[in-house]
Amino acid sequence: MLYYALYSLHTTYGAFNVFRYITFRTLLAALMSLTISLLLGPMLIRRLTEKSIGQPIRDDGPERHQVKAGTPTMGGTLILFSLILATLLLADLRNPYIWLVILVTVGFGAIGFVDDFRKYRLGSSAGLAARHKFLCQCLVASAAAALLFAVPGFEPTVAVPFFKNVNIDLGPLYFLFAVIVIVGASNAVNLTDGLDGLAIGPVMIAAGTYGLFAYVSGHVKLAQYLQIPYVAGSGELAVFCGALAAAALGFLWFNAYPAQMFMGDVGSLPLGAAIAMVALVTKHSLVLILVGAIFVVEALSVILQVGYFKWSGGKRIFRMAPIHHHYELKGWPEPQIIVRFWIISIICAILALSTLKLR
Ligand code: 57M
């Protein structure tokens, strides 16, 4: 909205022409959402504390988590507010992809909000029933996948990393693929969100990485030069990704160890889904396995642990799943686990970006 108002001034004042550029608006959106989240953070923490919206802690987890009882939660509202506001003000709202990512973010955010609110009301760590949550996630993801199909010129293809111009056409199966990617990413981020800053760090890194993917995929010359699929209009998603990475950075200020607030499901459910949506639009959804490697490993650790636990009648592969609990129980200090997971995330993001050139 601000974009139209300011850009329309360029006929009188040439300097406003700069609003035409995605790169400029991405930086501005990032700056805006970072400022909003840093400024509103302390106020939100005060309000959440006043209303006693604190985290109930499960008593079957690592013991050192008990000191975290009562930490204000639902800080995800801060991330979503700064992200959506900056996007609405600085992105081109005639672009259908922008509305798609907003729909996914708000839809998954609403599911998380209901879940968190129920936990708060009941005063326990049990929110929405897992199957209800999953059903709602599938519904929102299906709506997003259907709308993606309806975008003029949309092709149901995915680019294969490390290969020049190799794109798999999934046809109608793409619908199912998109739902799995969106719901899977949402849940993987949620599982990762169990230590201070553990999820938000890699979310920030993934958002930055996909901001670059979106920019080059939507730039006809760069896409041709890199021999990646050109997706007209996808470049605008760089503005969303910039705002997301910066909102995550602002939230990290308060979520850094020892955390002053947690994001809650209102944060952890939409973040993975939003990044997955950008990955789908840009056709770089296979490389999400690398960009979101930490989330993939955390989710795999749960699948393996639960599967083996049931199959073996109570035996475990890890001391506890998700895998960050395993390292906690091995005695690694919490900040060490967090920072090491961030380092892995950065290395994987660099590897993922190298797929743009190494093909
Ligand atoms: C939610 N939520 C955190 C916070 C955050 C199937 C099963 C593996 C599912 C899994 C699960 O429920 N995971 C998803 C993880 C919780 O954090 C809240 O939840 C939001 C995210 N949804 O924003 O509001 C706790 O995590 C800690 N935390 C921090 N800092 C943060 O910045 O320290 C969170 C954010 C917080 C806080 O302690 O209370 C959570 O872990 O509950 N279940 C599990 O993860 C459980 N694993 C388990 O049962 N493993 C079993 C196997 C057989 C399934 C095993 O390995 O034996 C563990 N989680 C907990 N205790 N808390 C184990 C027991």
pLDDT tens figures, 195-242: 999 999 999 999 999 999 999 999 999 999 999 999 999 999 999 999
Give the mean pLDDT of 61-74: 87
Closest residue CA from atom 64 of ligand 1 = 61
Burial 225-258 (b: 16+ CB within 10 A, else e): ebebbbbebbbbbbbbbbbbbbbbbbbbebbeee
Ligand 1 atom nearest to CA at 76 = 23
Closest residue CA from atom 38 of ligand 1 = 65
**Contact of 186 with 327, CB cutoff 8 Å:** no
Extract the tokens encoding 78. Answer: 């801060």
Kindly report the backbone phi and psi dihedral angles of residue 139, in degrees, each rounded to the nearest multiple of 5, phi listed first: -65, -50
Q: What pLDDT score was predicted for residue 56?
A: 77
Does pLDDT of 188 surpass 90? yes
Sign of CA dihedral 250, 261, 86, 21: positive
Q: What pLDDT score was predicted for residue 358?
A: 84
Please tell me whether residue 97 adopts helix, strand or coil conformation: helix
Ligand 1 centroid – CA 352 distance (Å) = 28
Q: Is 247 in the pocket of ligand 1 (CB under 6 A)?
A: no
Q: What CA–CA distance (Å, rounded) separates 168 from 162?
A: 13
Residue for token pair 């199909």: 149
Closest residue CA from atom 20 of ligand 1 = 264
Q: Is 193 in the pocket of ligand 1 (CB under 6 A)?
A: yes
Q: Is 71 in the pocket of ligand 1 (CB under 6 A)?
A: no
Q: What pLDDT score was predicted for residue 359?
A: 76
Average pLDDT over all residues of the chain: 94
Q: Is 306 in the pocket of ligand 1 (CB under 6 A)?
A: yes
Q: Is 5 in the pocket of ligand 1 (CB under 6 A)?
A: no
| 164-178, 237-251, 335-349: range with lowest mean pLDDT | 164-178
* Spatial CB neighbours of 57, under 8 Å, sequence gap ≥ 6: 65, 66, 68, 69, 125
Q: What pLDDT score was predicted for residue 20?
A: 86
Does pLDDT of 346 surpass 80? yes
Extract the tokens encoding 122. Answer: 């009941």
User: Angle between the 96-122 and 265-282 helix axes, to the nearest 10 degrees?
Assistant: 160
> Between these two residues, 236 and 128, which has the higher pLDDT value?
236
Ligand 1 centroid – CA 137 distance (Å) = 19
Extract the tokens encoding 268. Answer: 């952890």
Ligand 1 centroid – CA 256 distance (Å) = 17
Ligand 1 atom nearest to CA at 309 = 53
Q: Is 65 in the pocket of ligand 1 (CB under 6 A)?
A: yes
Q: What region, left, alpha or beta, does residue 358 occupy, with left being phi > 0 and alpha being psi -120 to 50 degrees? A: beta
Q: What pLDDT score was predicted for residue 121?
A: 82
**Mutate which of 120, 320, 330 to test ligand 1's pocket (most atoms within 8 Å of Cβ)?**
320
